Structure 1
Amino acid sequence: MATAAPTPTTRGLGKRQAILDAAAELFADEGYARASIDAIAARAGVSKPTVYSHFGNKEQLFRESLAESARQINEQSYAAAIALDVGPGWEESLHEVAVELVECQRSSCASSLQRQLYAEINRDPEVFTIVRSRGAQPMIEALAGRLAMLANAGYLEIDDPQLAAKQFFALIGAEMPELTRLGTDRGEDRVVRASVQAGVHAFLRAYRA
């Protein structure tokens, strides 16, 4: 069976993703200042004008590159959040979800993203808002929805599910900067897991019905 030829739209999307992938690699390796549009275009296998036609300028490409990296990194965490059991097994499930969420923070890609944010946020404060909206915010909203369901079922007492979700993330990741040496090391599995579970227990002491 013959394969259908790609449409102009799918070809355009393919080029856009190739540019984002190339940009993510070069920005991570060389930093914003040293990574050039010429080098990104060459790695992506497109022309320099094609890069500009998709993203306008280097700053917007950097923003979109980090936002896409954040989205990809957090896909697993988002899936874990929406899979939280809201039935009788909710407490065990909450512990499992916490481990999954922190595992995302321990990846090399997440560490690279964090380093780039720290390095460039003073130059371009807007990059934080864009990355958060594409990466963390969908996770927070997903978890907030599940926590609200647990509250409606009488397992938790929560007035503000969004705030509770943010506090959950903060508690389970409270020691991660220290245990992972600011994202330069994965940390010892046993110690990380114990820290995560301590965060869950602190959350339950605050919100258990």
Structure 2
Amino acid sequence: MQDLTQLEPIARDLPQTRRGHERCVALLESGAELFLEFGYDAVSLDDIVNHAGGSKASIYKYFGNKEGLFKAICDYRRDQFFNDICQSFNSEQSDFRSYLITTLMNFQAHLLLPEKAAFMRLIVEQSQRNPELARHIHEQGPKQIQLAIAVALENGHKKGFLYCENPMFSAQFYFGILRNLEWKILMGLPPEEFDQETNKYIEYSVDRFLDGHQKP
């Protein structure tokens, strides 16, 4: 279970007790489950409360309304994504090539999970209807993921084991390695199985990426 303080950037009113924390997390998880199963429009706050327990007062207290709950679900799942996939680079535990390869392989494995793919499509659908939500998700999701890699690239540049004048541009280029898979998932096409050929593609792409970041 998440520590109490880890809900601070997600819930508008941070739970003060363990029970309040558990109720808040239950609403996030139940909301996500129902939105994925039935679609955003078909799910009411009453449905979520009946599934999670508690009362609608808890939703209003922690998230404001249904839209606020959905935004919080996106933030909650983003934090889980970071914990599972996008770790900070530690030169004592891994070389930089391995770090870049592992990050992409973890990212790809994450995208291939049917539930994760379905949530990506749900986000895109809701973002089309709500420009403010779209901006929030982009700023707190893809942009933050790119920033984590950009920081690693900037540190590598400072330490001299690669050359990177614009880390944020390079981070966008790096994640473009998986763009084809992301498009397939968003369009509902069946992706190829995760196999040795896919591993070779990621390794090849990372090597070419690093080739482009050698000192001139």
Is 1:197 the counterpart of 2:171 in the alignment?
Answer: no
Alignment of 1:35-74 (within 5 A): 35-74=43-82
| Displacement of 1:25 | 0.4
Give, in whole Å, the separation in 2 of the partners of 1:128 and 1:68. Answer: 16
Structure 2: segments with no counterpart, 5+ residues: 1-14
**1:187 counterpart residue number:** 192
Give the percent of matched residue pairs that are identical in Structure 1 and Structure 2: 23
- Specify whether residues 180 and 118 from structure 1 end up closer, same or farther in structure 2 by C-alpha distance, changes over 3 A only: closer
Q: Could you give the per-residue CA deviations for residues 70-96 of structure 1, whole angstroms, max 9, x where no partner exists?
A: 2213321122xx135389933344323
Is 1:140 the counterpart of 2:152 in the alignment?
Answer: no
Is 1:21 the counterpart of 2:26 in the alignment?
Answer: no
What secondary structure is seen at the aligned counterpart in 1 of 2:130? Answer: coil
**2:115 counterpart residue number:** 109
Give, in whole Å, the separation in 2 of the partners of 1:37 and 1:196. Answer: 42
| Displacement of 1:179 | 6.1
In 2, are the aligned partners of 1:23 and 1:62 still within 8 Å (CA)? yes
- Specify whether residues 137 and 86 from structure 1 end up closer, same or farther in structure 2 by C-alpha distance, changes over 3 A only: farther
In 1, are the aligned partners of 2:89 and 2:96 still within 8 Å (CA)? no
Give, in whole Å, the separation in 1 of the partners of 2:120 and 2:186. Answer: 12
In 1, are the aligned partners of 2:164 and 2:213 still within 8 Å (CA)? yes
Letter matched to residue 181 of structure 2: M
Structure 1: segments with no counterpart, 5+ residues: 1-6
- Specify whether residues 109 and 132 from structure 1 end up closer, same or farther in structure 2 by C-alpha distance, changes over 3 A only: farther
Match of 2:91 among 85, 89, 93: 85
TM-score by length of 2: 0.79
In 2, are the aligned partners of 1:22 and 1:43 still within 8 Å (CA)? yes
Give, in whole Å, the separation in 2 of the partners of 1:35 and 1:143. Answer: 36
Is 1:31 the counterpart of 2:34 in the alignment?
Answer: no
Give, in whole Å, the separation in 2 of the partners of 1:15 and 1:88. Answer: 39
Give, in whole Å, the separation in 2 of the partners of 1:197 and 1:105. Answer: 18
Letter matched to residue 123 of structure 1: R
Is 1:176 the counterpart of 2:181 in the alignment?
Answer: yes
Letter matched to residue 207 of structure 1: H
Give, in whole Å, the separation in 2 of the partners of 1:97 and 1:61. Answer: 29
Q: Could you give the per-residue CA deviations for residues 36-86 of structure 1, whole angstroms, max 9, x where no partner exists?
A: 11110011111122222222211111111122122213321122xx13538
- Specify whether residues 122 and 178 from structure 1 end up closer, same or farther in structure 2 by C-alpha distance, changes over 3 A only: closer
Letter matched to residue 112 of structure 2: R
Letter matched to residue 63 of structure 2: F
In 2, are the aligned partners of 1:121 and 1:128 still within 8 Å (CA)? yes
Give, in whole Å, the separation in 1 of the partners of 2:41 and 2:185. Answer: 27
What secondary structure is seen at the aligned counterpart in 2 of 1:189? Answer: coil
- Specify whether residues 206 and 114 from structure 1 end up closer, same or farther in structure 2 by C-alpha distance, changes over 3 A only: same
Give, in whole Å, the separation in 1 of the partners of 2:52 and 2:79. Answer: 20
Aligned residues: 200
